[in-house]
Amino acid sequence: MAHRLSAQAAGRQAGLLTILLLAILRLTWRAFDPRPAEPAGIPHAQALLARWGHALLYALLFAVPLTGWWFDSLSGLRPLYFFGLFEVPHLVAPDKALADFASETHETLFWLLIAVAAGHAAIALVHQFARRNNILGRMWPDWLQRKSLIRGGS
């Protein structure tokens, strides 16, 4: 009988190490790739909010998988495997009473991440297409930019 991965198990496996590893890679890339200057005409308050928004996104990209791992450890229901390659060690000893709190924390942070990411994307689209300040072009190296979409067709 073939083993089928449940949606919950797939979410734990993908969320825990995959998202965590991608967040580490992104932060490493950010450390060696200087942040581009703000587009001309961006008010200081908006630039500050953008920096805070990015910091919150990075914090949540680490907090969501770590609280999921914490919850999984506290629940003690089963071993957690990373796509069948290896067993992920528990962070803490099982504690059913604390597991409910960890689960609620994880879920709340997950939905906060979704909301912040959606808001971030919406604001980027407004800057790109309504204000036409090439905000999306700042995300890509010059050799990857497509003139018609990223640079506003100019």
Q: Which residues, 6 or more positions from 40, have their beta carbon under 8 angstroms from its beta carbon?
A: 133
Residue 47: how many other CB atoms lie within 10 Å: 13
Question: Structurally, how many domains does the chain consist of?
Answer: 1
Domain hosting residue 111, numbered range? 7-32+44-144
End-to-end Cα, the chain, rounded Å: 58
How far apart, in whole angstroms, are the C-alpha atoms of residue 19 and residue 17?
Answer: 6
Asked if the structure places residue 16 within a domain, the reply is: yes
Asked if the structure places residue 123 within a domain, the reply is: yes
How far apart, in whole angstroms, are the C-alpha atoms of residue 69 and residue 80?
Answer: 9
Q: What does pTM read for this prediction?
A: 0.79
pLDDT in tens, the chain (154 residues): 334 557 666 666 767 778 888 999 988 988 887 777 777 788 899 989 999 999 999 999 999 999 999 998 999 877 777 777 888 889 999 999 999 999 999 999 999 999 999 999 999 999 889 988 878 877 776 666 655 454 554 4
Asked if the structure places residue 153 within a domain, the reply is: no
Asked if the structure places residue 1 within a domain, the reply is: no
Asked if the structure places residue 37 within a domain, the reply is: no
Asked if the structure places residue 121 within a domain, the reply is: yes
